[in-house]
Chains A and B, each alone.
Chain A
Amino acid sequence: MFQQFALEHAWLIPLLPAISFVIIGMLIRSYGKASAALAVLMSLISFCLAVGVATGVVDYGITVEAPFVQKVSWLHVGSLELAMGVLVDPLTAMMLIVVTTVSLLVQIYSVGYMKGDPGYGRFFAYLSLFAASMLGLVLAVNFLQMYVFWELVGLCSYLLIGFYYYKVSAREAAKKAFITTRVGDFGLLLGILLLQINFGTLDFLELGQIIPMYIASAGTGMLTFIALLIFIGPIGKSGQFPLHVWLPDAMEGPTPVSALIHAATMVVAGVYLVGRAYFLFSQLPTVMSVIAWLGAFTAFFAASIAFTQHAIKRILAYSTVSQLGYMMLALGVGSLTASFFHLMTHAFFKALLFLCAGAVMHAMHDEADIFKMRGLRHKMPVTFVCMTIGVLAIAGIPPFAGFFSKDAILAAAAEVSMPLYIMATLTAFMTAFYMSRLLFVTFFGMPADERTYSHAHETGWFMRLPLIVLAGLAVISGLWGHEFGFGEWVRFGMPVEEGIDPVIAISSTVLSIIAIMAAWHIYVTKPYLSDTMAEKTGVLYKLSFNKFYIDEIYACLIKYVVDGTAKVLYWFDVNIVDGIINMLAAIVGGISRRLGKLENGQAQSYAAVFICGVIVLAAYGFFYSQRILAVLGGAL
């Protein structure tokens, strides 16, 4: 009964947080506790509905081939018809569960984390708006609806990164995030428009039927172009190289925001979009290899930066970029299942890691540098355990969640291309290393600063509860997905048989363990080793520490290209445009100076001009208008 209700009222899932946003934003923003309670309550109901939808999908046998769709007409302009509605299939159901779970947990966490902040109510309003937008995006039935919510989550991201708007760095980061993702969104918009022009519809299901026929008759040229344009959107939103620069800076926002938006949900919107439009991408081998290689490169590249960063959240941010690259890689090699499996497990363990980082920073008075923390395991045992689970999960140690999903991706990559597999494995090794570095430096060793260390304390229950729940999910979600038959539901085309390739699994596990041991050796047993290594690797270390100077390159590009163009245009404006204007003004001025001499105040001159006018009129009447003469003559 409840499943039936949940399915038919799936539109309530995004609507409830939206209502909560309106109520908090308009009415009770200044009552912090009421705002938080309302937001959490609405999230809870959304979560329950999402669970209902998910179980309904399983019980009623709704598959990707036979989704549950509800549509209402939204816009009707000429021949253009746009619908809005909900599309429920296993993909959607999985995303709903992930988004509502993380959103609910993060909101509960925020109750404790944001305590005493002057913008308490505002924060929950934004979180609600974000949840509504993200859920709407997930449920979209066509590209346009998705685009609308796509932009809305971008807006929420902007608002939340800039939440501490009185900090210059937060403002800058918010602008950077918004503008960078806008670059991608523009490509996406162009792609959507081209789709509408070529096919006359944006509906996912209709397009899914038209496109294979279109390819059979007209080839892939145009579609490749469209798909590449659409893919620019995910490049921006999911922080793929070269538009990844905004994501690390986005860590200026409050930590729960980083966990929710910049780790678990919004940034995977790009992955979701590619998965949703897989009927398009899977037909185009060129685009697929672009996606795969870009994903693999991003994964490797971001991991190499994460190696040397000091700020805890930045490490996690680069790790997120890297893991998103993983998901893209999986999509590119044709395994939607592996990608979405990793999406789900990553959402849980990365949210866990961020929330742990938040707890640590909370305890350390917002200290972000991991080398100034150290030895916290005695002070914060719960956080320590949760963090350890998160690190083991992301490192891919069985039986934690990351092991299964990462293994699925590696297996899929190995089937398609050896270089991609090697790159992915290498990235996995690096991931294990830098994550354990983060863990060991933060929680082991001797305290760096006695005073802050003595003040450090375990967090309150509001913050501890989500940690424990997420830790539980990080442990079981992989195994559960594996046993439950994730690939039978979330897939594209044929059901995927879940199996673990022993060679791949063992080799990656062994590599991860080696990496963790190496990190232990370098950062705990012989702490001085890290500095020596930094000196020895010299250039490489510097490159990595400075994020390969990507930001500087962009700054340079802007300086020389944009400023140069601006200078040229400025010259043009000053000399050509203004020149024309000034010339016109000079001409008019000259004419008026000459005409002004006619205005000499002599009544006789005026009379002469007046008489001349009369003469001209009379002559005109005489030579050109015989009618006037006829009228005059008729009177005589």
Chain B
Amino acid sequence: MTDIFYSLVFYLIALVIIASALGVVMEKNLVHSALLMTACFIGVGMLYIYLDAEFLGAAQFMLYSGGVAILAVMAVMLIKHGDEGPRDGGNGRALRAIAVASAFALVIGMIITALPYAPAGYISQDNVSELAEMMLTEYVLPFEIAAILLLSALIGAIILAKGDGEA
């Protein structure tokens, strides 16, 4: 009974993710796209929690559903669009894109289903403190590098957005 419930939750989350993702690429209005993307990110965050990664779920909610989605909406708004508003009707090569994407899905799907897989698992007791310990001991160097990367991305974004003449 718990198993069935457990599975049902997964399929529900999967439905939310796929439906909103399809919405993102199908929707012509960019603002709608951005909102659907937020929904998709929330679904992904829920999946993280479902997979016992609570800290990542929280990070996903904050960073993606919060930061990135807002950034995207603001970008859409900052850029002046034509008469029909912020719309994207595709570049006229949708057929090719469908062919490539479905071929990709097909091949990857075959590989995934063919993978020899022995059920096993690892569930952390204290997700946050374990991640924190790893990040500040064994993975401290990548952590610092990520910090530098974020800083440079911040500066870079500012400079790019400001432009040369306005410096």
Contact = CB atoms under 8 A, between A and B. Distances in A.
Q: Do chains A and B touch in the complex (CB under 8 A)?
A: yes
Interface string B86-125: 0000010100110010011001101100111110000000
At the interface, is chain A mostly helix, strand, loop or mixed? helix
A632 B107 CA distance: 15
A632 B115 contact: yes
A629 B100 contact: no
A635 to B, nearest CB: 10
Interface residues of B, number: 16
A636 B116 contact: yes
A604 interface: yes
Contacts of B97: 608
A604 B103 contact: no
Nearest to B104: A615
Interface string A330-358: 00000000000000000000000000000
Contacts of A630: 116
Contacts of B117: 633, 636
Contacts of B108: 618
Contacts of B116: 629-630, 633, 636
Interface in A605-636: 608, 611-612, 614-615, 618-619, 621-622, 629-630, 632-633, 636
Interface string A579-623: 000000000000000000000000010001001101100110110
B73 to A, nearest CB: 23
A629 B107 contact: no
A95 B140 CA distance: 101
Interface residues of A, number: 15
B111 A622 contact: yes
Given A632-B115, A633-B117, A636-B117, A612 B107 contact: no
A186 to B, nearest CB: 69
A35 B101 CA distance: 92
A618 B115 CA distance: 13
A608 B103 CA distance: 12
Contacts of B93: 604
A597 to B, nearest CB: 14
B110 A622 contact: yes
A615 B102 CA distance: 11
A629 B91 contact: no
Contact of B100 (A615, A621, A632): A615
Contact of B107 (A608, A618, A633, A636): A618
Nearest to A602: B91
A471 B108 CA distance: 109
Contacts of A621: 111
A633 B110 contact: no
13 contacts: A604-B93, A612-B103, A615-B103, A615-B104, A619-B107, A622-B107, A622-B110, A622-B111, A629-B115, A633-B115, A636-B115, A636-B116, A636-B118
Given A608-B100, A615-B104, A618-B107, 18 more contacts: A608-B96, A608-B97, A611-B100, A611-B104, A612-B100, A612-B103, A614-B104, A615-B103, A618-B108, A621-B111, A622-B107, A622-B114, A629-B114, A630-B116, A633-B115, A636-B115, A636-B116, A636-B117
Interface of A: 604, 608, 611-612, 614-615, 618-619, 621-622, 629-630, 632-633, 636
